[in-house]
Amino acid sequence: MDTFLLKALPLAAAAHVFEEFVFPGGFRAWYARYRPETAVSFTTTFAVGINALFLVVCSLPLLSVPSPQAIALWLTLAAVVFGNAVFHARGTLKMREYSPGVVTGVLLYMPLAVVGFLHFVQVGEASLGTAIVAALLGGSYSLFTVINHRRRARRVARPEG
């Protein structure tokens, strides 16, 4: 099992979160301009919670016993970060302005995912089927987030009770 790739994922995720929220930061404000219809859903509490959880989950393959399940989780997370990089790149192009997270997304997330998928399949630590399922699961996360933010924004617009 290639521990370099296992270590690289949480490090890349930490660098990405740093770019989004610390230096240069400003992701929440950019997101409000990019997706104003759901910006109310992206609170500071939500951002801190989801990113803390993501950093922990990205560390699990590294901290777990080497296994096919750990590799499958790594591949799924790599697909999630690849999709996140696409989100930032598309947003940057559409808005014609820098999206906090686009640099680490394009320079770290995308190559890491491509190299990781190729490596784990080529060395036989993941089957092609596992890689495809991981890509589909991880890739669907972007769709899930859109649906979830829309749901949360509707709930804020129409408080229950």
- pLDDT 10s digit of each residue in the chain, 161 long? 779 999 999 999 999 999 999 999 999 999 999 999 999 999 999 999 999 999 999 999 999 998 999 999 999 999 999 999 999 999 999 999 999 999 999 999 999 999 999 999 999 999 999 999 999 999 999 888 888 888 988 888 776 65
Q: Which long-range contacts (CB under 8 A, 24 or more apart) does 48-57 make?
A: 51/17, 51/20, 51/21, 54/13, 54/17, 55/10, 55/13, 55/14, 55/17
Burial degree of 10 (CB within 10 A; 0-12, 13-18, 19+): buried
- Determine the pLDDT at residue 142: 86
Q: Which of 8, 122, 124, 133 is nearest to 75 (CA)?
A: 133
Alpha carbon distance 85, 16 (integer Å):
10
What one-letter code names the amino acid at 32? A
Q: Which residues contact 138 (CB under 8 A, 6 or more apart)?
A: 75, 76, 77, 78, 79, 80, 82, 83
Q: Tokens for 62, please give them.
A: 């590294």
CA separation (Å) from 38 to 33, 84, 105?
10, 17, 22
Alpha carbon distance 98, 87 (integer Å):
12
